[in-house]
C-alpha cells in the first residue's frame, strides 16, 4: 500500500510536466503546417475588333492553321486570362469543346488555344518575370496542366486561337459557331 | 508516454490538414465565330466577365495577401471593403442568369484557425443600351429604308442561399454557397427611322419583350463610341465578427465564383 501511494504521488508530480511538453509540441506543429491557400482563375473575352476578339470569321487568315504561326504560338488574340494562387503545387483542368455550328452540330472544327503566362524563375523576384506559353487542343476530354513552383501571379495574359491542321473552315456551312472553354484550378498535382 | 505523444502529434497534424483550404476556382467563357452570315454578328451568348477586383491589390502588394485590417476601415468589429468583385454579363445573354458564389470563413494566416464571418453585400447594377442588328452607322449618310432600335433594360440582383438573410450572408467555419440571380426587371425602347438622325423619346419601361432584348442585342459602334449591351454589378462587402480577430494577424477569406448561366 505504501508503495502504491509513492507511485501515485510521483505520477501526480510528473503529469504537469508531460502536459507542458505536449503543448510545446502543439505550437511547433501548428506553425509549421498551417498554410492558408487561395487561388483564382479569371477569363476575360475580348470583343471583336480588326485584329483581335470575338466573334471572328472562321475563314480569316489569323485563325487559319499555319505551321510557322503555330511555332510562334500566335493566332488570333481572343481573350485574356489571369491566375493568382499561393499554393506550391497546383493543377489546371482545361476543357475546350470543338467549335460547332449552332444549327448543325455535325459541323465542328478543332483548334489550339495558346495560353501565355508570366512566372519567376525559381521564385526569384529580383529580376523581371519570364513569359511562358502552353497549348491546349480542343476535344471532349480535359487537358491537365500541372504547376509545381508556386505561388502563381500571372495577370491578363493572352489566349490565342488557331485552327489545327485538320480543320477545313472553308468547307463549313455559313452560320454561327460556338465553343466553351472551362478552366478549373485545384490545389495539388 | 511515447504512444501518448505520438497520438497527440497525429491528431494535431490531422487537424492541420483538415483546416488547410482545399482551394479551387472555375472560370468559363464562350468562344464565338461565324462564317459569311452577312449580318451583324452578336457577341457570344454567354459572355461573362468576373473580375475579382481585390486581386489587383494582391498583385501590387508583391504577393502579400490583401491586408483587410489595414485597408479596410474597422469600427466596432466591422470592416468594409469596396469593389470586392464585379460580374458582367454580356450581349445576347438570357434575361435571367445565375451565378454560384462560395465563401470561406476568415482563416488566420498564423495558425489556420477559422473564424465565422457575416458578410453584408451591397450591389450596384447598371445597364447599357442594346441595338437591333442589321443596320450600319446611322450617322453615315441618308438611308431611307431602315429602322433602328435602341433598348435599355434594368437588371436587378437577388441573392439566395441557406445562410442568407436579406443582404447578409452568415459564413460558418465550414463555408457556405449562395446563388446570385440576375433578373432583367423591365425594358424600354426607342427608335429612329429612315433619315432621322434623332432618336424618338423612350417608351415606358416594361413595354417591350425581354426575350427580344436578349436575342436582338448586338454590339455596334455609334459615333466612335462602342455600346455594349451589358449589365454589370459591383459587390461591396461589409464584414463583421472582427471582435474575435487578432489585429496583428493576417486573415484570408476566399470568394469563389462559378458561372452556371443558361
Question: How high is the ipTM of this complex?
Answer: 0.74
Residue in A37, A55, A182 nearest the CB of B34? A55
Gap between the Cα atoms of A81 and B87, Å rounded: 15
Burial bucket for residue A12 (CB in 10 Å: 0-12, 13-18, 19+): exposed
For A53-57, A89-93, B36-40, which range has the lowest pLDDT when averaged over its residues? B36-40
Nearest CA in chain A to B227: A47
Q: Could you list the pLDDT tens digit for every one of the 262 residues in chain B?
A: 444 333 333 333 222 223 333 344 888 887 877 775 433 333 333 333 444 444 333 222 222 333 343 334 444 445 555 555 555 554 344 445 556 666 666 666 677 777 776 666 666 555 554 444 444 444 344 455 556 666 666 666 677 777 777 767 777 777 777 776 666 566 666 776 666 667 777 776 655 544 444 333 333 322 222 333 445 555 555 555 555 566 666 666 655 555 444 3
| Rounded (10°) angle between helices A2-33 and B2-19 | 30
The pLDDT score that the predictor gives to residue B161 is 77
What would the mean pLDDT of A78-85 be, rounded to a whole number?
89
Residue corresponding to grid cell 462560395: B102
Residue A51 has pLDDT above 70, yes or no: yes
Q: What sign for the dihedral angle of Cα B171, B77, B23, B103?
A: positive
For A16-25, A87-96, B228-237, which range has the lowest pLDDT when averaged over its residues? A16-25
Output the CA–CA distances (angstroms, integers) from residue B120 to A40, B85, B117, B234, in the order listed: 22, 14, 10, 13
What residues are paired with B51 via a beta bridge? Answer: B86
* Residue scoring higher pLDDT (B158 or A11): B158
**B-interface mutation test, from A16, A22, A40, A181, most B Cβ less than 10 A away:** A40
Percent of residues in chain B assigned helix, strand, coil, to nearest 5: 15, 45, 40
Mean pLDDT of chain A: 79
Gap between the Cα atoms of B205 and A28, Å rounded: 64
CA atoms within 13 A on the CB side of A74: 13
The pLDDT score that the predictor gives to residue A22 is 41
Gap between the Cα atoms of A132 and A136, Å rounded: 14
Q: What is the pTM of this model?
A: 0.43
Nearest CA in chain B to A32: B111
The pLDDT score that the predictor gives to residue B103 is 65
The pLDDT score that the predictor gives to residue B226 is 31
The pLDDT score that the predictor gives to residue A111 is 95
- Quick one: which H or E segment has residue B194? none
Q: Are B182 and B89 in contact (CB under 8 A)?
A: yes
- Quick one: which H or E segment has residue B188? strand B176-193
Residue corresponding to grid cell 426587371: B185
**A-interface mutation test, from B33, B51, B173, B249, most A Cβ less than 10 A away:** B33
Residue A105 has pLDDT above 50, yes or no: yes
At A146, list the grid cell.
500541372
Residue in B29, B35, B62 nearest the CB of A172? B35
Amino acid at each position: 500500500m505504501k508503495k502504491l501511494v509513492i507511485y501515485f504521488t510521483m505520477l501526480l508530480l510528473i503529469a504537469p510536466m508531460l502536459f507542458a511538453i505536449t503543448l510545446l509540441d502543439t505550437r511547433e506543429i501548428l506553425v509549421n503546417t498551417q498554410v492558408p491557400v487561395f487561388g483564382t482563375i479569371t477569363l476575360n473575352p475580348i470583343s471583336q475588333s480588326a485584329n483581335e476578339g470575338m466573334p471572328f470569321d472562321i475563314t480569316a487568315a489569323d485563325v487559319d492553321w499555319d505551321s510557322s504561326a503555330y511555332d510562334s504560338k500566335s493566332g488570333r488574340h481572343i481573350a485574356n486570362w489571369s491566375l493568382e494562387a499561393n499554393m506550391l503545387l497546383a493543377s489546371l483542368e482545361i476543357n475546350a469543346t470543338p467549335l460547332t455550328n449552332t444549327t448543325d452540330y455535325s459541323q465542328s472544327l478543332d483548334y489550339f488555344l495558346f495560353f501565355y503566362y508570366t512566372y519567376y524563375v525559381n521564385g526569384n523576384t529580383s529580376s523581371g518575370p519570364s513569359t511562358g506559353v502552353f497549348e491546349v487542343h480542343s476535344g471532349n476530354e480535359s487537358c491537365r496542366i500541372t504547376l509545381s513552383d508556386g505561388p502563381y501571379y500571372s495577370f491578363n495574359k493572352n489566349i490565342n486561337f488557331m485552327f489545327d491542321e485538320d480543320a477545313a473552315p472553308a468547307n463549313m456551312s455559313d452560320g454561327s459557331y460556338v465553343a466553351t472553354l472551362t478552366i478549373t484550378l485545384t490545389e495539388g498535382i | 508516454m511515447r504512444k501518448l505523444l505520438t497520438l497527440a502529434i497525429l491528431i494535431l497534424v490531422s487537424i492541420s490538414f483538415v483546416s488547410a483550404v482545399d482551394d479551387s476556382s472555375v472560370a468559363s467563357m464562350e468562344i464565338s465565330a461565324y462564317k459569311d452570315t452577312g449580318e451583324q454578328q452578336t457577341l457570344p451568348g454567354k459572355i461573362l466577365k468576373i473580375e475579382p477586383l481585390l486581386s489587383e491589390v494582391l498583385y501590387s502588394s508583391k504577393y502579400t495577401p490583401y491586408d483587410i485590417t489595414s485597408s479596410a476601415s474597422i469600427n466596432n468589429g466591422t470592416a468594409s471593403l469596396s469593389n470586392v468583385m464585379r460580374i458582367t454579363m454580356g450581349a445576347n445573354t438570357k434575361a435571367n442568369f445565375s451565378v454560384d458564389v462560395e465563401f470561406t470563413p476568415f482563416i488566420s494566416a498564423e495558425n489556420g484557425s477559422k473564424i465565422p464571418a457575416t458578410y453584408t453585400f451591397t450591389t450596384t447594377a447598371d445597364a447599357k443600351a442594346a441595338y437591333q442588328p442589321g443596320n450600319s452607322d446611322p450617322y453615315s449618310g441618308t438611308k431611307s429604308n431602315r429602322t433602328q432600335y435602341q433598348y435599355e433594360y434594368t437588371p436587378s440582383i437577388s441573392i439566395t442561399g441557406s445562410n442568407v438573410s436579406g443582404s447578409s450572408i452568415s459564413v460558418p467555419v465550414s463555408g457556405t454557397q449562395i446563388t446570385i440571380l440576375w433578373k432583367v426587371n423591365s425594358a424600354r425602347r426607342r427608335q429612329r427611322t429612315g433619315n432621322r438622325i434623332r432618336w424618338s423619346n423612350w417608351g415606358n419601361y416594361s413595354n417591350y419583350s425581354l426575350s427580344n432584348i436578349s436575342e436582338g442585342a448586338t454590339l455596334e459602334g455609334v459615333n466612335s463610341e462602342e455600346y455594349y449591351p451589358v449589365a454589370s454589378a459591383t459587390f461591396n462587402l461589409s464584414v463583421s465578427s472582427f471582435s474575435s480577430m487578432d489585429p496583428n494577424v493576417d486573415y484570408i477569406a476566399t470568394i469563389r465564383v462559378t458561372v452556371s448561366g443558361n
